């Protein structure tokens, strides 16, 4: 999970900073507070992930629960960030890849599948809430949802392969 935080957190920061930096005029013109709210959500995400990462192994009995909580918190953080910023920055859908990837690396397969389906479904639901899904936009949304699910299953498969190789080499 620490590797995931090391790579995905800076990516999320870049994604959100790009959305705000390159579209700041649109936010100002509309008088929207989305960048401030997004910054608050992101700061909360960073602090919680840092705290869990720092304390996860301090309480070994809680380590599995903390990983589970961290995966679902990553999903929870992605929802408002996506909702606020995707109309201004199309790549925001990539935030929904993070929680299923974390689940694929740290949780049983059924949790990874559930997390990926819920993340993909939430993304499509939020798209639908903002505008009708039809034509090219429907194809784009379905492709993105499929990527979220397929990528998490790919990562799950890689993680299982690594564990099998480790077990073979250890024995």
Tell me which of 14-18, 62-66, 79-83, 93-97 is least confident. 62-66
Which helix (H) or strand (E) element contains residue 159?
A: helix 135-170
More confident residue, 105 or 167: 105
Both tokens assigned to 154:
């790919």
Query: Global pTM?
Result: 0.83
How high is the pLDDT of residue 162?
Answer: 85
Average pLDDT over residues 32-48: 80
* Distance, CA of 56 to chain centre: 20
**pLDDT-wise least confident of 55-59, 73-77, 145-149:** 55-59
Upper half-sphere CA count for residue 154 (Cβ side, 13 Å):
7
- In the predicted structure, residue 68 carries a pLDDT above the cut 90: no
Give me the chain's average pLDDT, please. Answer: 85
**96: Cβ contacts below 8 Å, ≥ 6 apart:** 75, 78, 82, 119, 120, 122, 123, 148
pLDDT-based confidence at 82, cuts 50/70/90?
Answer: very high
CB 25 within 8 A of CB 86: no
When pLDDT is cut at 50, 70 and 90, the band that residue 121 belongs to is: very high
């Amino acid at each position: 999970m620490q590797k995931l935080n090391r790579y995905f957190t800076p990516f999320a920061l870049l994604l959100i900073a790009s959305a705000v930096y390159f579209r700041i005029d649109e936010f100002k013109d509309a008088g929207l507070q989305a960048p401030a709210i997004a910054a608050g959500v992101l700061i909360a995400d960073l602090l919680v992930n840092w705290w869990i990462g720092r304390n996860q192994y301090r309480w070994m009995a809680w380590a599995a629960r903390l990983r589970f909580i961290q995966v679902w918190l990553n999903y929870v953080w992605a929802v408002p960030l996506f909702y606020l910023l995707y109309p201004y920055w199309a790549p925001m859908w990539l935030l929904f890849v993070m929680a299923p990837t974390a689940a694929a690396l740290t949780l049983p397969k059924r949790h990874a599948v559930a997390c990926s389906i819920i993340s993909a479904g939430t993304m499509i639901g939020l798209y639908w809430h903002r505008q009708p899904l039809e034509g090219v936009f429907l194809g784009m949304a379905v492709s993105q949802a499929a990527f979220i699910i397929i990528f998490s299953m790919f990562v799950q498969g890689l993680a299982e392969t690594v564990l099998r190789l480790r077990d073979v080499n250890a024995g």
